[in-house]
Amino acid sequence: MIFNISSSLLFSRLQAISRVINSKNSLPILDCFLFRIEDSVLSITASDSETTMVTTANLNSSDSEGAFAVTSKTILDALKELPEQPLDFIVDFETYAITVKYQNGVYSLPGQNADEFPQLTTVGNDAVHLNIDGQVLMGGINRTFFATADDELRPVMNGVYFDITPEDITIVASDGHKLVRCKILDIHGEERAAFILPKKPASLLKSLLPKETGGIDIAFDQRNAVFTLGNYRMVCRLIEGRYPNYNSVIPQNNPYKVTIDRQQLLSVLRRVSIFSSQGSSLIKLHVQENMITVSAQDIDFSTSAEETLICQYAGDEMSIG
């Protein structure tokens, strides 16, 4: 089999899905990319057995159809050093020897039988379907991801929780000490449904979403979820279990409300945190009428910092931290 493809196009597709591959795999075939050619379209698959990513790329030409696997690190390192140019792949399906011809040279590397690669799982006929704008989804994941836990005893806390209702979609993460709830009011489901997305596929989505524009289709059942956007598709195993009632830990009718410029607060926190204790990273907030004082100190090194910010607040003085 012979096919021709742009080197930069192939490298960008491989790089985008390579993060799903673990450094150590129980199955040696999972160290590889799966290449499959059908109707002059190349589909590339990478997997760690629980999360699988598939991407497609149009070929300049191909003389037949077929599939093979190739070691991910070898092909990535080889393509990284090539400038943009067309590449000819020549695959011998009797020996699975792969030859890659480029402008001034040739690569030779071994391939593997595609039949050894695990079959792609999918969702059942009872799957729930959603369509969310990619940038909106990325914003929700970015705002909540940092609050996920690493707790072997409570695996449901180790992911991002999606709570879908006929009114809205809520994205939640918590590690038991902090909780983030992000509501998407202009998107909703037809009925009540929910799933817990593990940290790894959530991280993969964070890196993938900026590469594509438009909506992302989500389909999920009790065990798996499928995310489809542009030239990419991700299938992952969901975390099973019941997520805690996050609304019960959020105070209702709380009289203490502060309105402040977000970027100013972030800038102050970055400056003041330099002087916080390396052990606790503790930062103190003192809130009074229309003013917040942010402070930190490191007793061991005799350093401290304090800065004030203007805010909208009318209530009793209080301190946090």
Q: Under 8 Å CB-to-CB from 233, ≥6 apart: which residues? A: 53, 54, 55, 226, 227
Contact between residue 238 and residue 229 where contact means Cβ atoms under 8 Å apart: no
Domain with CATH 3.10.150.10 in the chain: 2-116, 128-249, 262-320
Fold of the domain spanning 262-320: DNA Polymerase III; Chain A, domain 2 (3.10.150)
The predicted structure's pLDDT at residue 312: 93
* SS3 state at 207: helix
* SS3 state at 186: coil
C-alpha triplet 74, 64, 233: angle, nearest 5°: 60
The predicted structure's pLDDT at residue 76: 96
Domain 2-116's class? alpha beta
Amino acid at 238: L
Contact between residue 108 and residue 101 where contact means Cβ atoms under 8 Å apart: no
pLDDT tens for each residue of the chain, 321 residues long: 999 999 999 999 999 999 999 988 889 999 999 999 999 999 999 999 999 999 999 999 999 999 999 999 999 999 998 999 999 999 999 999 999 999 989 999 999 999 999 998 889 888 999 999 999 999 999 999 999 999 889 999 999 999 999 999 999 999 998 999 999 988 888 889 999 999 999 999 999 988 888 899 999 999 999 999 999 999 999 999 999 999 998 888 888 889 999 999 999 999 999 999 988 899 999 999 999 999 999 998 999 999 999 999 988 899 998
C-alpha triplet 172, 178, 181: angle, nearest 5°: 25
Q: What CATH number does the domain located at 128-249 have?
A: 3.10.150.10
Paired tokens of 242? 């019941």
Please list, residue by residue across 178-212, b when 16 or more beta carbons sit within 10 angstroms of its beta carbon and e when fewer do.
eebbbebeebebeeebbbbbbbbbbbbbeebbeee
